[in-house]
Structure 1
């Protein structure tokens, strides 16, 4: 039992350390790529939530995600262009797979999966934006990350509140 617990604890530590190392992005092009892909997932999964008819505070949250992340995406594209950085126009395989999985869910299963995906996505986004705001290369993308971080933290707190109900 102790060996299993120790192994599980070690695995969790290594996963956390690997995530923290991965999240410490300082290159503007790498930041723009990760941020754009995450942003596209937030928008498309939230549009899907609205299409599938989520209700109440989940619907309100989904609409806010579409609105806020569309605006943030436009600001990021302008910052990236100013920095001479390309922004991807399609999601990576990981995010597309998550979206595909959501598309096949229905009803309460969909709502649960959507909320879980939003919690995970916003935790990763906050970590990405926080690390880049602190350690990223000076320029328009670092300014964008710094300005956007408080809104992402609000999103994270809001979806965690919804998830805890």
Structure 2
């Protein structure tokens, strides 16, 4: 009978243990701090710039027959994809969704490049890269200097260095504006 009493006691205690209050989940983390308006604008512009460079880089990688242009295009895709991933992480921390569409002007430029082939494609692709990186450089430099967000400051400074490098490469690969530049013509 003692065994039965013990069994009955154990059977009556087990459901009580199961009913005990489960440990509480830790409180939800506080919502991410919103970005300052200037930082939010920067994030949007930087995302669109990365998306454009990835798109034009992929196009040049498949369209160009020049090994140096293809290598540059592949680097653009690699670097700007990594930049976009890093920017996406920062944006997520602040509850911001990155835009995925190009601007109307960038769509038009991409469509114009898609219609070109051969040396004209290479020349115009490089001209687009010089212009895009010339336009982007001050954006990243200003953000690196002016933002108070440590992650954005680091991202902008690192990306400004990459943008400067891409600009230098695009300029070095670009053909001279005038093939006779530097020559003296004798009449």
- TM-score, scaled to structure 1: 0.79
- Residue 83 of structure 1 corresponds to which residue in structure 2? 94
- Check 1:47–1:78 CA distance in 2 against 1; reply closer, same or farther (3 A cut): same
Structure 1 stretches lacking a partner, 5+ long: 1-25
Contact 1:37 / 1:88 at 8 angstroms: preserved in 2? yes
Q: Which runs of 5+ in 2 are unaligned?
A: 1-36, 177-187
SS of the residue corresponding to residue 105 of structure 1 reads coil
Q: Corresponding residue for 2:38? A: 27
Deviation at 1:106, TM superposition (A): 1.3
The 1-side partners of 2:108 and 2:148 are apart by: 31
Alignment of 1:58-97 (within 5 A): 58-97=69-108
If you compute each CA radius of gyration, which structure gives the higher value, 1 or 2? 2
Q: Which residue of 1 aligns with 2:114?
A: 103
**Structure 2 residue 65 is the aligned partner of structure 1 residue 42:** no
| Structure 2 CA distance for aligned equivalents of residues 82 and 161 of structure 1 | 38
Cα drift, residue 164 of structure 1: 4.7
Structure 1 consecutive aligned stretches of length 4 or more whose deviation exceeds 6 Å:
none
Corresponding residue SS for 2:96: coil
The higher-RCO structure (CA 8 Å, 6+ apart) is 1
Residue 54 of structure 1, CA deviation: 3.1
Q: Does 1:157 align with 2:162?
A: no
Q: String of CA shifts for 1:93-147, please: whole Å, max 9, x gaps.
A: 1111111111111111111110000000111111110011111242422321122
Which residue of 51, 64, 73 maps to 1:53? 64
Q: C-alpha root-mean-square deviation of aligned residues, in Å?
A: 1.5
- Structure (1/2) with the larger helix percentage: 1
